[in-house]
Structure 1
Amino acid sequence: MATQGIAGSKESDISSVLTQRLASVLPKDVTFKIYHLSTPPTKTSSLYSAPPNSRPDRTYRESHFLTVSIRTPSKQDASELLEVLVFAIEILIYSTAYDTTFFVSKADSTGYLHLLNLPKGTPSPIRDISATFLQHLVEQHQRENIRSIVSLFARAQDQYLFPGSIEYSGKHVLDDRGLVRWWCRVLDPLIEQTETSNNLRKSQWDSVKGFLIVPGQDNYETRSYLPARAKAQTTQSSWTIGHPLRQISRHADDVPPRCLVPHYPDDPKARFLDELDDEIGRGKDDSNGQWKSVRNIDQFWEMMAYRQECSAGRLVGFIWIVFTPTSRHNHGDLVIGSSQTSTLADDSQELNSSFSSIPDATPAISTPTTSFPSSNPAQQSPPKRSDILSVIKEPSQLSKTSAQRKKKKLSGRIIPRQPRIKTENKNYLLERPESTAYYTWKPEGRGQIIVDETDYHRINELLLRLDFADLDLASSSSKRWINEVRSGAGSMGDTWGQLVTGTKVTEITNKSSAAGVTTLNVGLVRKKRKSSTDEPHEPTPAAVTIPQVNVLGAGMIRKKVKN
């Protein structure tokens, strides 16, 4: 699946960028093993529904899957070290000509991290790995004047990626409220590091803000989930209680609310979105794209509080981190306004797609017409109907000439065609541009092994069929999954799994010494009063005696007079 020779050394240099960043945040002299799997940018369906009389944005998706393992002594033989997976996270990257969205799809742990016996007070390596991996992907997929968005929903569950891990006693599962707080602390360094970098050097991010909304809770209750750093900010807080769906949308404010809500996989609001879309009629009169029960985006979030996933004792937190660049394209020039111009744009896109298959076509045809407006005002004016019809005739003429060439009768001596000898294993997944108008695919932002979408889903399905109930089962399941990925990777399998030794020195405060004897002030100390003979003593309680039976005298008994 992979190219020989150069690919091996190149991939090792590429993946070292991530390992160096992870080493700087992991505890000193503690060794982990990192496995990073990814897919190339692949065309997928749009995250947002298109407004009426317009087409959805062309969208590309990358899938990234990161797993972390440790080595721990076996219970039977202490000299034998077992490798076991302790953490996994999946991030889906959606790229368009207007923005890049990083959706945290799943994250789970097995509970075997405590076998490292880290000192008490050491920061959680899982939290540092998650924040560093997200920061790495955001930087490697950053494009000039293009906004980036990190999005996730926090919903507590026993196990997401490691079946049977809930049966292990060492796994600690957070509740809904604890999980929302945990993810806010994970994502807060993305904001804090950008704020500190702006003071040191000029950053291309104009602002980085976090957004949190918990359906069914007011602003005061929701603010309790924010990190302590955000609560201490009084003037300009880096976190906002609410959602940024209007802010990150490239459409006008009067579009239907269904055009503002993204459709992520296995997302609570996406399931509600599908139910509301059934209310939209299919006739010409109902083509405005409006729901019948929900009229605006604020009402959508109010109704989310009554969903089964967000009520009946359950709680779901929706979190966004929005990276706004210093200068952005004016959406007024990029977005097509009226229905007539949108129809013309659709025709031009069809022509572009038809000409892309012609070998002599210019490369500029494949770029989106709405992403890069021409500086010439004459070129920005909408094309005339006659010009479009004249252009439409050209593909038919080309098809006729190509058909005439195919009908040419062959004659003469038959020359046998020499077979093509396969001299190397070539990975055709790598044969795609690193940068286009819709995405950027830097080598530093790729995984150690690159597979297509089919193999990626097969690898994830294998992980969901294994067992992590105890240490022996988890070790054998981890070994099987790691070897299965390596066996189908070709020469890329040489870089599958890289050791990372932490270099971060953490100051651990001794809580036992801090919780010593508390010395009171002299004025607060009172002496015990001495008992004196003048004071009456309280009577001692009498001994408890068994109650006796009362016997009546003979004179008190009277016989009943007979009638």
Structure 2
Amino acid sequence: MAANNLRDHLLAGLASLPGTREFHIHVLVSSPRKHTGLFPYAHPRPRAYLQDILILLSEQTTPESPRVLVSALEASLYNIPVTSSGVLYVQKVDSSGHSSAPSPTATLVRSFLTYHGDPTTRPIAVKNLWIQLFARAQGQYLFPNSSEFPGKRPLADVKLCAWWKRILSHVAQELHRGTKGKLMLRLYYILPGYNELEAIHALGDSHTLALSGQPDEYGWIYGHHYSQTDIPLPCPGDKWEGGATRNLGHFIPWFDDDPKSRFIDEIAHTANVNGVRSPKTKRPRPIHGKTDDRARMDPPREEDEEDKDRNRDKDGQPAGELGKVTADEFWERMSFRQECIAGAVTGFFAFGASSPTDAADAPGGMESPASSPLAPQPGQVPPRMVRRIVATLLNHHDFSTAERAVRATETLEGAVKGLCEDLAPAGMPSVKRTGDRPSTPEPETAGDAFEVPRTPPPRSKPLLPEISPSPFPEPVASLETYRSHIYGSISVRNPPLVPKGDGSAGTSSDAVKPVQPVTVLAVRKKRKVAS
């Protein structure tokens, strides 16, 4: 299998799963496009390049049985060349509940993160990579109505955060072993509203790493990663024009549907710490060269603090309260946000990996340092194709029963192949094959009715019009691309999973423990006094 092919890397990871079954995978990676919204409140904004990633995994228990989607992953990959940094934001991970045990979701996610963390297989030529995600338990994310299927057992809030911590710990161990300790790894997590002892007690400290050759402080660090200096942050520079130092806008990236993004938007539009103030009444303007008596009597007032805050970003200064709110205060106030106090435990995770210069420039990467970050690579598809598949998955299918899941799987997999053949099935708009690549952002057209709903961009920070069109033609999704990079399958023939508690495992930990008797105490009801 090709080392640089994401599809083959994921299939190789699934080959070790227990049981007898066949997996079918569809990997959609969009071509890079210019993006200036990763740090919308930094001045100047660093130029980044964005790729959309969607992975659909279906399972077939026997050759005669139909395929059914069991796992899905949606992510965004950002390339910031000025700091040789990449940011992999995992947006959504979901399982439909229709797979046989064990579920392949954990193995799929581990293989996906390891592929991007390893500098020899990383698809972008960067020295530093940050993996970020927000863990929030919900019944469904990518498979509509799958929470109604009796076979799906979504993890609760604490168990989901512990699951992500365990997944990232395994990824760190695999990267440390695969690179022979040459990769610098740092792991951070925050549970808003919890201090460190409470978080350790909630999630357990069993996933603390003890890797040889790493410093004592290596492992999970409770807190944010903005104050560390071991791995450079994506947003460049310590000093800016006019001697201004870094502010909150240089630390907090703006991701779609992320609580941090909504919070930093509010901070950037806040004139004081008590909230957004209403603008003051404007002084009357002269009419035909004349002013009224009140205007003549009022002396010209100087610009107040509210006006300064409103116009500060025009001069390259922080907008709103970005220059006053520190990173520590940001996370302290984050614990009072609605997303974090809704009665469920949520978690923010950051995984940093920094490789030596020679490792980052290794020929294993798909993109050489001399090539343009906008140059499409083999196997990539137009960004609009990825968004349309996500939109039709979220809006036009049902996974509440096995029959509906099979029908949805057949439609979605047929849609991916049909778009590569330029023969979209009913309900799926075809991808334009014109040679003119639209500028970024792409204009809204009538065909965008299938776009997935997204969090709107910041009001005062619209996408800049100076983003020029890409000099490279948009890739064409052909059948050759479909067969070589998008679709793949693998047959798994391994011993079945031994159930927990089965004494045949031969270990004391798997032995069946005797059931302790439980004494039930009866509660004597208090008699009512007769009136």
1:217-232 → structure 2 map (5 Å cutoff)? 217-224=194-201, 225=203, 228-230=206-208
Q: How big is the shift at 1:277?
A: 1.3
Aligned pairs for 1:186-205 within 5 A: 186-198=167-179, 201=180, 203=182, 205=183
1:57 aligns with 2:87: no
Q: Which has the higher helix share?
A: 1
Displacement after TM superposition at 1:455 (Å): 2.0
1:132 aligned onto 2:111: yes
Instruction: Say which SS state the counterpart of residue 457 (structure 1) adopts.
Output: helix
State whether structure 2 residue 11 is matched by structure 1 residue 81.
no
Q: State the alpha-carbon separation in 2 of the partners of residues 274 and 238 from structure 1.
A: 32
**Given residue 129 of structure 1, which amino acid in structure 2 is its aligned partner?**
L
SS at match of 1:229: coil
Cα distance 1:286–1:18, how it changes in 2: closer, same or farther (>3 A)? closer
Residue 508 of structure 1 deviates from its aligned partner by 3.5
Q: CA deviation at 1:27?
A: 2.3
Which amino acid counterpart does residue 392 of structure 2 have in structure 1?
A: L
Amino acid at match of 1:151: Q
Tell me, which stretches of 5 or more residues in structure 2 are unaligned? 240-244, 272-308, 359-365, 422-478, 504-510, 516-531
Q: How does 1:148-297 map to 2 (within 5 A)?
A: 148-198=129-179, 201=180, 203=182, 205=183, 207-224=184-201, 225=203, 228-230=206-208, 235-247=216-228, 248-249=232-233, 250-252=236-238, 254-279=245-270, 281-283=309-311, 287=315, 288-289=317-318, 291-292=320-321, 295-297=325-327
Residue in 2 aligned with 1:508?
Answer: 498
Q: Which residue of 1 aligns with 2:438?
A: none
TM-score, normalization by structure 1: 0.62
Any idea what SS the aligned residue of 1:82 has? coil
- For residues 246 and 438 of structure 1, do their structure 2 counterparts lie closer, same or farther at Cα, with a shift above 3 Å needed? farther
Q: Is the 8 A contact 2:269 2:319 kept in 1?
A: no
- TM-fit CA distance, 1:315: 2.3
Per the TM alignment, residue 507 of structure 1 is displaced from its structure 2 partner at its CA by 7.5
Give the stretch that moved more between structures: 497-506 or 189-198.
497-506
Which residue in the other structure is 1:414 paired with? none
Unaligned runs of 5+ in 1: 1-9, 74-78, 329-431, 519-563
Aligned partners of 2:132, 2:11: CA distance in 1, in Å?
25
SS of the residue aligned with 1:473?
Answer: helix
Distance of 1:12 and 1:299 partners within structure 2: 43
User: How many Å separate the matches in 1 of 2:381 and 2:124?
Assistant: 24
What's 1:93 paired with?
A: 77
Q: Is the 8 A contact 1:185 1:226 kept in 2?
A: no
Task: Tell me, yes or no, if the aligned pair for 1:309 and 1:315 is still in contact at 8 Å.
Answer: no
- Of the candidates 479, 498, 501, which is equivalent to residue 410 of structure 2? 479
Give secondary structure in 2 for the equivalent of 1:100: strand
- 1:402: which partner in 2? none
Aligned counterparts of 1:145 and 1:457: Cα–Cα separation in 2: 26
The alpha-carbon distance between structure 1 residues 13 and 268, as it changes in their structure 2 partners (threshold 3 A), is: closer
Superimposed CA distance per residue, residues 30-72 of structure 1 (whole angstroms, 9 cap, x where no aligned partner) = 3211111110111122412454xx4211111111111111125
Equivalent residue runs for 1:426-465 within 5 Å: 435-436=369-370, 439=373, 450-464=380-394, 465=396
Deviation at 1:175, TM superposition (A): 1.6
Measure how far apart 1:471 and its partner are: 0.6
Aligned counterparts of 1:484 and 1:143: Cα–Cα separation in 2: 28
Q: For each residue in 1:198-237, what CA deviation from the matched residue of structure 2 results, as whole angstroms up to 9, or x when unmatched?
A: 5xx473x2x1111101111000122242661307789434
Task: Give the greater-gyration-radius structure (CA).
Answer: 1
- Is contact 1:165-1:469 (8 Å) kept? yes
* CA–CA separation in structure 2 for the residues paired with 1:33 and 1:187: 25
Cα displacement string for residues 251-303 of structure 1 (whole angstroms, at most 9, x for unaligned residues): 32831112210001100110111111112633259852054385211111111
SS of the aligned residue for 1:483 comes to helix
Summarize deviations over 1:121-162 as a string: whole Å, max 9, x none: x5x421111110121133333666621111101011121111
Q: Which residue of 2 aligns with 1:542?
A: none
- 2-side partners of 1:278 and 1:170: how far apart? 45
Structure-2 change in CA distance of 1:134 and 1:202 (3 Å) = closer
Q: Give the Cα separation in 2 of the matches to 1:11 and 1:144.
A: 18
Match for residue 8 of structure 2 among 13, 17, 23? 17
RMSD over equivalenced CA pairs, Å: 3.3
- C-alpha distance in 2, partners of 1:144/1:36? 20
